[in-house]
Structure 1
Amino acid sequence: MRVTMIVNGVEVAREIEGRLLLVHFLRDTLGLTGTHWGCDTSNCGTCVVWLDGEPVKSCTVLAAMAGGHEVRTVEDLANGAELDPVQEGFRQCHGLQCGFCTPGMLMTCRALLDRNPDPSEEEIREAISGQICRCTGYSTIVRSVKWAAANS
């Protein structure tokens, strides 16, 4: 089947199998490997992208379901060489260690700050509650988001 969507501001159209997951479409078909593939069960959250401005776990969305919609990936956060404040916050406050969960965390946290520019620690923890980080203990991620909020 043919699917057409906007990915990071660019219209793309490809022939795909109907069972292809969005995470695999982005990584394998389009070569956008910033979106990580972790579990295929929606437990880890490493594959979070935006679908029409809302964070979704791309391992739970068929690429065909994204047809006609807008998808934004972690590759689209930075403005050229200028990092998004969330990315800079993760850099400044050591919000990443191994980096595996980072793309999904960045997309989720950017969406949070777009809705709520000054979230509390509890609101940040609630926003990232659907994502697993095995390295940081989450405190540096919370600090990173607070830094981004203060520097946006």
Structure 2
Amino acid sequence: MSALTEGSTAPAFTMKASGGREVSSAALKGKPYLIYFYPKANTPGCTTQACGVQEALPQLGKLGLTVIGVSPDAIPPIEKFAAKYNLAFPLASDADHAVAEAYGVWVEKSMYGRTYMGMERSSFLVGADGKIVKVWRKVKPAEHAAQVLEAAKAL
């Protein structure tokens, strides 16, 4: 597991995303972006988080920030989730969790006494230079968009 911190170079990625798009770190070269990891499309926390980000999108766009949501879901449930909530930003599928592992957010979790591997709700604000500017671990969905907006203003 990688311990990415502020100042680290963001890992490279290429993933299929909602709306028939493909997202990649190469295409974002020279631009700031937020890559956020969420456990599962269409669950309450993930919906709160995604809708908050969607609401903040106009302000984030004015700051030149691209947003990408990433989950281990396959593309069909991601497409349904994006359509249901009119999410304009790309939601990417990291079904093999290679990108999550590179970012150190594919972690052991436990629920009802059972341990399993899953996505830690985390976000990484990456500067135009490809370096991580801000890291949020164990994100609280309702507060996420405001925190990102505040940090993005400093870019």
TM-score by length of 1: 0.29
Which of the pair has more CA radius of gyration?
1
Task: Identify the structure with the greater strand proportion.
Answer: 2
Task: Identify which of structures 1 and 2 has the higher relative contact order when contacts are C-alpha pairs closer than 8 Å and 6+ apart.
Answer: 2
TM-score by length of 2: 0.29
Task: Identify the structure with the greater helix proportion.
Answer: 1
